[in-house]
Structure 1
Amino acid sequence: MSLIDIGKRLYEASQVLATMDTKSKNEALKEVALSLKGHAEHILRENQKDIEKAIENNMKESLIDRLRLSEERIDDMIEGIHNIIKMKDPVWKSSEVWTLENGLTVSKMTVPIGVIGIIYESRPNVTVDAFSLTLKSGNCILLRGSSSSMHSNRALVYAMKEGLKKSNISEEVIGFVDDPNRSVVKEMLTLNKYIDLIIPRGGNDLIQFVVNNASVPTIETGVGNCHIFVDATANIQKAINIIENAKVQRPGVCNACETVLVHKNIAEVFLPKLYDYLKDRVEMRGCEETKKMIPVKCATKEDWAEEYLDYILAIKIVQNLEDTILHIRKYGTKHSEAILTENLSNANKFLRQVDAAAVYVNASTRFTDGSQFGFGAEMGISTQKMHARGPMGLNELVTIKYTILGNGQIRE
């Protein structure tokens, strides 16, 4: 089936889905959850094909981890669906109603966006998360994952469509691009007649390709050069635990910490302890001052801008909070930034002056996640300053319609 044919089917299905009641959408999601459970063995077999290919292609382990599915991860996807079922339907809600002097009553109503296309890399769970969120918010979805996860995504889409067949909602609300050719992506980016929004989710190369080639409106997501600043007043053990979590738990995700900035007044005490704690698990690259205190590789200018997605950590000693903020402004990607401090004034200054979708005080950047924020799941982490910023959940997948009720008014 051509991409235009898929687009037409999605557009037609979106006209029906937009006015579906909450009960029908929730029942459909329940059937999809049951189908995913029933097809788990098939999904895992297909995922193993992608894993074997990734190993053959020498994909780094942290990225293979993003690709790998397990019974537990499938159960997590299913739990995410049930969390979305429990959430309030964001469609046809009024945030504001007012009456004009001429008697017209104006309501600001939420409505589905329509057809949303998502282009994403590696992580098969995005296939389920994206579908679940778009269905609950009354949108159709066009999925285009990477070639590295093609077998996994194909199996997941099959299971979801089988679930929809047992519901009142057509399986045509899901479109799947089963062609790894990049020219198909380029065509998808210009399908304005049938697609209302494109969301790229992946590395910088993918996002820039989408932004530079799309005529369909886009929301940028994902690139995460995330920093943690260890202030002079930081609790050392607490800081070490937070940095370990932010770097080591899952280094191949966008909310992992890539650079640690350390106040000069605490560096001599803090850095040796951090080094001893992480040296067997993380390759550390430091500035010249850092190298004088711990035996690490020399960091280059490129390291400050790098999203490693690996067990690599850049370390820089900074003069003060102002120096830290300037560094983040220069190299940050407006994703997630954190300060570790016991100084309330410094915490507030960091919160106010650091420009990012999520800014933390004394916590790991790994919490920038739709499920962690209570959104059930996410379409991605928006780093733009549009209507959606940070984890994009249900409430970011609707737009506005003004309804005006009159009684014969005309404009003079």
Structure 2
Amino acid sequence: MNDVVMTKADPEKTIADVIAELGQRAKAAARDLALATAEQRNSALTHAASALRERASDILSANAKDVEGVRDSGKDAAFIDRLTLTTDRVAGMADALDAIAGQDDPLGRTLATFDRPNGLKIDRVSVPIGVIAMIYESRPNVGSDAGALCVKSGNAVILRGGSESLNSSRVIVACLAQGLRAAGLPADAVQMVNTRDREAVKLLLHSTETVDLAIPRGGRGLVSLVQKEARVPTLLHLDGNNHTYVHESADLEKAVGIVVNAKMRRTGICGATECVVIDSKITGLFLPRLLTALGDCQLRGDAQARAIVPDMIAATDADWDTEYLSNIMSVKIVDDVKDSIAFVQAHSSGHTDAIVAEDAAAVKLFMTAVDSAVVMHNASTQFSDGGEFGMGAEIGIATGKMHARGPVGAEQLTSFKYFVYGNGQQRQ
């Protein structure tokens, strides 16, 4: 493996030494990767996909150790679900790598061309960012997706996954390294921080000499830490406090199906709806039908919702701002589309929000006014995903407004520079 490990044989090596060495190796690998052909980068991904399939049993065995390690730690069911890999999930990881390999090359694209009166020709061309530090929590498949997207976009990556998934991550990174070597590329293009020491995160965020961009993917605690500590540029992925608004014009059968899927398909992912917002004109018809269809889902509602379903738990102010990541959903009743926009704007995390409606004017107003990275019409918020957007996979859903927004795929992991072509011009 290409991991850096602190061992008894090297007692003088500190965690700071480890991070510094990882950074230098990543920086060197990034230079080689930027010069690699698209064919080489794609070959690395297809070979890595094959390695994931061949070593599926090793990955599942390592993952079983990770899951067993948190069984008695008090972690909730949503956390354990995100940590757990299955045969299908490992196959999905490999399929994602193949899908990314099959995409158009994000590098070397001419984004714009300017012909100046003095004869200069200026091209704006897509290039890699350099070295990316990917800091994420429990989901081990994030390491596979992030590694693949960075290789595709010509970037080296240092992965710092959750300590709970360390065993799984080691095997996954070994598969990515195997793919890189098979394509004649440096295995150091994808490295991991092979320690549970939490100081590693801060040191990565302070690595201004080697790290060009840090991307956190996790809960508010992780993102807050990155915002506080980062000395390198960041691309933030916040939590998914997502809303689905059911307008008075909604097809109620369609609306029930959408909300149930948006909440219950997988409750522990960031694209899950956490609050359903319902137009007061249809609450009496819609809410009882939704309640029946949701099954094992606890609802926490405002006074109007509880007037229709008296045994519903009363929502507190905290509920409107909570990403449950479990089978709990809050219910808010509003008077019209403008009230829904005001409520969503006040409480959304800016990740993904949706409207279910047949009224075109209401749809346009909601989608224009709600300032989230992804706004949907008549579709489950769980489609807010790089794979579903045709990106093969994603590093995360960026909720900021600079550089990239929404699902971050290979194209979003590029920067640009200007190529200026002259013929002897001199400035007066």
Please give the TM-score of this superposition, normalised by the length of structure 1.
0.98
Name the structure 2 match of 1:179: 195
Quote how far apart the aligned CAs of 1:288 are.
Answer: 1.1
Residues 1:195 and 2:207 are matched in the alignment: no
Q: Distance in 2 between matches of 1:62 and 1:116?
A: 28
Which residue among 305, 309, 312 is the counterpart of 1:290?
A: 305
Name the structure 2 match of 1:119: 135
SS at match of 2:346: helix
Q: Distance in 1 between matches of 2:175 and 2:122?
A: 43
Quote how far apart the aligned CAs of 1:8 are.
Answer: 0.3
Contact map agreement 2:93 2:144 (CA 8 A) in 1: yes
Name the structure 1 match of 2:280: 264
Runs of 5+ unmatched residues, structure 2: 5-17
Name the structure 2 match of 1:11: 27
Quote how far apart the aligned CAs of 1:253 are.
Answer: 0.6
Contact map agreement 2:32 2:186 (CA 8 A) in 1: no
Residues 1:132 and 2:153 are matched in the alignment: no
Describe the superposition over 1:48-80 as per-residue Cα deviations: whole angstroms up to 9, x where unpaired.
Answer: 011112221132212211111111111111111
Name the structure 1 match of 2:390: 374
Which residue among 306, 329, 341 is the counterpart of 2:322?
A: 306
Name the structure 2 match of 1:30: 46
SS at match of 1:165: helix
Q: Distance in 2 between matches of 1:4 and 1:406?
A: 40
Name the structure 1 match of 2:110: 94
Describe the superposition over 1:274-313 as per-residue Cα deviations: whole angstroms up to 9, x where unpaired.
Answer: 11222x3101100011111112101000000000011100
Q: Superposition pairs for residues 57-96 of structure 1, below 5 Å?
A: 57-96=73-112
Q: Distance in 2 between matches of 1:205 and 1:135?
A: 28
Name the structure 2 match of 1:358: 374
Moved more, 40-49 or 269-278: 269-278
Name the structure 2 match of 1:163: 179
Which residue among 259, 273, 276 is the counterpart of 2:289?
A: 273
Residues 1:336 and 2:364 are matched in the alignment: no
Q: Distance in 1 between matches of 2:257 and 2:43?
A: 42
Letter matched to residue 79 of structure 2: L
Name the structure 1 match of 2:12: none
Quote how far apart the aligned CAs of 1:191 are.
Answer: 0.1
SS at match of 1:409: coil
Q: Distance in 1 between matches of 2:126 and 2:182?
A: 28
Q: Distance in 2 between matches of 1:48 and 1:402?
A: 49
Q: Distance in 1 between matches of 2:182 and 2:36?
A: 16
Letter matched to residue 371 of structure 1: G
Name the structure 1 match of 2:223: 207
Q: Distance in 2 between matches of 1:27 and 1:342?
A: 46
Name the structure 1 match of 2:59: 43
Letter matched to residue 280 of structure 2: K
Q: Distance in 1 between matches of 2:253 and 2:62?
A: 43
Quote how far apart the aligned CAs of 1:178 are.
Answer: 1.3
Moved runs in structure 1, 4+ residues, more than 6 A? none
Runs of 5+ unmatched residues, structure 1: none
Moved more, 60-69 or 304-313: 60-69
Contact map agreement 2:245 2:354 (CA 8 A) in 1: yes
Q: Distance in 2 between matches of 1:201 and 1:386?
A: 17
Q: Distance in 1 between matches of 2:46 and 2:411?
A: 21
Letter matched to residue 283 of structure 1: Q
Q: Distance in 2 between matches of 1:163 and 1:383?
A: 32
Name the structure 2 match of 1:397: 413
SS at match of 1:57: coil
Describe the superposition over 1:61-116 as per-residue Cα deviations: whole angstroms up to 9, x where unpaired.
Answer: 12211111111111111111111111011111102112111111100011000001
Describe the superposition over 1:240-261 as per-residue Cα deviations: whole angstroms up to 9, x where unpaired.
Answer: 1111101101010111000011
Q: Distance in 2 between matches of 1:7 and 1:251?
A: 36
Q: Distance in 1 between matches of 2:371 and 2:68?
A: 40
